[in-house]
Structure 1
């Protein structure tokens, strides 16, 4: 390049200028390269002109022959017919003229291609029609010797014995006397017989349908009895009800006026989170009806079990206070913490934002749970979106109304902003000391954190028992249709936990 610096470095010039001797010399040594690479010879113009002249001459000759043939007068001798057995045509033409006409009809000299008439190949003159015996209306007649009215005669098979003394005859098909089934009786056309047959058919079909319905009922009853026996053996595993409190199901049945297996179904669904298709085999009810039963009866069961969530009583708490609280924290009334349950992602963007939890990295519903020092649940808040902070939930719900002045509440570090809010109601908050980033805790702060954590662990154990109900597990991803009854499900779970054996022994 002549202008390399101006084009690449300075950027003044927009066009590249090459040096005059800048010609590629890679193939300069191969002088005959074009001759060797170009194998096809060029077409000369002389040959083309000669061909066009030949075509024009042929066309002129054809036109002159046709005009001379039209101008010649017809004589009577020319119209006379000569009878020849070999020539069927009455008019005989000159052979050279016939050849020219046929050539004019068949050959077009400008195209230089012979036009041949279309003909059909003999190879495709006939079409083979195949008949599929399986789909054809005319079925091949196949008669079985066992079902046909005319039985085969006995066939004697001669078997020579070893000693060749006698011959044994064996009947392959034994003759049977013609039974009533072998005789074909044509039907008699009569109105009375047809009506009777029709009525018999209706009766038989109705009887069959009744039998099928009865069989289904028997199967459903058998499945129900098997499930009740299975649940009675281990109600804690299948329902979350302790073995000593199984009588509660009978009380629920009488109080709510619903069948016993409906109560068992609702508690079993909360405890094991079986799909309705699985519960169909256990209870003999269709999945759609099971869904209706569950959604309808859960609020009724929650309303009945809500009194099992105890109220705070200072005297009773002090009487049943565990040993770990008696030395320094004998005034503690309850321990609080939040429980998060993962749900499916909502379709609306607003609901997605409200339920998103940065702590769980999922869409969740959050509840405030409070328990007494000995592990009994005394309060559960309504559900809030996972985005809501712990302090906001405590301020929004009516938890402070359950507390009395002078009570002490233990909480986690996340509730530090609630301290001022609780002091207005003369309630003290006990929580581990807050730690600043980059600052090491002192020995006294570490000791205090350890003491409070050893007491606060009881609320974590309560939450662990709640997680035993598979519908409240951390990563269960609850269906959105169950969110409207999730508060009732939490109440049922907390009530059944209080009925179980004591948490602190």
Structure 2
């Protein structure tokens, strides 16, 4: 047996009509003709925009038609429906929906003209003063009432109105002659009040006046209110994948006297309004400290001392520095003209990425002072920690080569990869485009990192916009100049276009085989991919150590004001990672 087709869902296309095949299954739905002109006429009648297709199936319910008159076979439909059979109703030719009770079609009436309204008002007033024709029986009542009013001494205007009343009939005198004078006089004197009639007339009396236009200058008190603060000068900072070449300057961790002099001169230029106290008592002279009360000074000293005690107990958690490496703080303070507390503030900001307000509360300084300390101290500390990022000789790399590399990849001298850090969206559209990362779906800075097979960071590039490709960064950052000849570099599949650049340096690229849907991988290629992925995980572990510094998390969203010093933060973090425990044990 053939399967029964599911009934097509019908609904009435008239706006504001709620009828459909589910809510009103007993109603008849007429199909709308598919002729575009007829459909347009139907839409105009039912107040619907003509945005329907000529091939779509549309219906209109029976509520908008007179079924008895608008259909051809209504009688047949009625008889067959009583017998339980289905018959389709057909509309007469040219019939369109004409009943729209579901819509409010109250057209606004025409406004009444001022002349017409005034004329109606005057006619009502005249009608109220006028009286209908009186018969002979009511003449006496009218005349006696008028006579009483005239005798009572009314105003002249009213007497004239009584004499010249247009409503008085001419036969009233003849009728009065029939009645005796004495009788009429008695009736007038005794029953005057009984013949009076009251009429209510509503009149809108308006005093006569003349309109004159007068120009007046109204003065009000005005005060100047500042609605927005004074705008501070700001600068949009963006990164570009193309950077000018800079001369590499090697700095020693323990500088000579000439190095110390140059660094001190830089420090004096950067912080001309900021003079630190002696580093022995770990105190800092702030410009606004003189305005603090004794209670505030005591509170700041307590907070600073408690934070320094916490750092002494947990340097790894608060600074990212192990206890066995804590002597590095003393070495840095001796070789850099910075107080120890400035170095601690910089490392704590790098490790926990706390706001300057929280750091100001912990160390007892103002927020602006903490910001100046961080921006001044970070480049100085990074210039010293950069010497911990060294490129060992091939002999040293081979001595520390892990066992997993010695069988097949003993000539690998470097493992490279790229990582990204999210930044705030720049306001400049060009910088937005340069920093947009299609992989992270946000604005990022991109860095190339290289490590030896045992996990020592031997190269870190400057920051590039997230739009830059991996091969472009390798070609521009100076990494190829550090490679010795006849060595191998291990990388991911994303560096497949790096082979010709390494071939020009007499080096080879070790990466997993390419994968495509048309050509499935062989068993050997799958094994090779797993083998290389297991060895390339070393650089991923190094990147994870860098991510322990919360300022370098993937979605840290670095403030655009800190973008100029983010390269120094990366350098400082790489130096701290290199003095940690061994990443890969033999």
Task: Give the TM-score taking structure 2 as reference length.
Answer: 0.54
1:322 maps onto 2:399 in alignment = no
1:439 maps onto 2:519 in alignment = yes
In structure 1, the partner of 2:386 is 306
CA contact 2:128–2:201 (8 Å) conserved in 1 = no
From 442, 445, 448, the counterpart of 1:362: 442
Shift of 1:437: 2.5
Shift of 1:212: 5.9
Matches within 5 A, 1:81-92: none
In structure 2, the partner of 1:491 is 571
Shift of 1:258: 1.0
Matches within 5 A, 1:72-83: none
Shift of 1:62: 4.3
Shift of 1:438: 3.3
In structure 2, the partner of 1:371 is 451
From 415, 423, 426, the counterpart of 1:346: 426
In structure 1, the partner of 2:259 is none
The 2-side partners of 1:322 and 1:14 are apart by 80
1:53 maps onto 2:130 in alignment = yes
In structure 1, the partner of 2:299 is 219
1:280 maps onto 2:360 in alignment = yes
**How many residues matched?**
345
In structure 2, the partner of 1:430 is 510
Shift of 1:277: 1.5
From 526, 529, 543, the counterpart of 1:463: 543
Matched residue SS, 2:424: coil
CA contact 1:312–1:402 (8 Å) conserved in 2 = no
Shift of 1:274: 1.0
Matched residue SS, 1:391: helix
The 2-side partners of 1:468 and 1:288 are apart by 26
Deviations 1:64-110 (A, max 9, x none): 46889xxxxxxxxxxxxxxxxxxxxxxxxxxxxxxxxxxxxxx9996
Cα distance change of structure 1 residues 379 and 46 upon mapping to structure 2, 3 Å threshold:
closer
> Greater CA radius of gyration, 1 or 2?
1
From 411, 419, 439, the counterpart of 2:491: 411
Matched residue SS, 2:459: strand
CA contact 1:312–1:333 (8 Å) conserved in 2 = no
Shift of 1:356: 1.2
In structure 1, the partner of 2:60 is none
The 1-side partners of 2:338 and 2:199 are apart by 101
The 2-side partners of 1:475 and 1:10 are apart by 56
From 559, 564, 568, the counterpart of 1:479: 559
Matches within 5 A, 1:382-393: 382-393=462-473
In structure 2, the partner of 1:240 is 320
The 2-side partners of 1:14 and 1:364 are apart by 54
The 2-side partners of 1:15 and 1:467 are apart by 68
Deviations 1:132-190 (A, max 9, x none): xxxxxxxxxxxxxxxxxxxxxxxxxxxxxxxxxxxxxxxxxxxxxxxxxxxxxxxxxxx
Matched residue SS, 1:347: coil
Deviations 1:454-503 (A, max 9, x none): 11110000000000000111122111111111110000000000000000
The 2-side partners of 1:393 and 1:340 are apart by 13
Question: Which sections of structure 1, spanning at least 5 residues, go unmatched?
Answer: 1-6, 24-42, 69-106, 116-208
Shift of 1:408: 1.1
Matched residue SS, 1:367: strand
Matched residue SS, 1:220: helix
Shift of 1:13: 13
Task: Give the TM-score taking structure 1 as reference length.
Answer: 0.62
The 2-side partners of 1:220 and 1:15 are apart by 82
Shift of 1:15: 9.2
- Superposed CA RMSD in Å reads 3.7
In structure 1, the partner of 2:460 is 380
Moved more, 434-443 or 284-293: 434-443
Matched residue SS, 2:293: helix
The 2-side partners of 1:285 and 1:482 are apart by 20
Matches within 5 A, 1:60-139: 62-64=155-157, 111=202
Matched residue SS, 2:130: helix
Deviations 1:95-127 (A, max 9, x none): xxxxxxxxxxxx999645899xxxxxxxxxxxx
Question: Which sections of structure 2, spanning at least 5 residues, go unmatched?
Answer: 1-32, 43-64, 71-119, 133-141, 162-197, 207-288
Cα distance change of structure 1 residues 46 and 448 upon mapping to structure 2, 3 Å threshold:
closer
Matched residue SS, 1:366: strand
In structure 2, the partner of 1:400 is 480
The 1-side partners of 2:546 and 2:157 are apart by 115
Shift of 1:211: 11
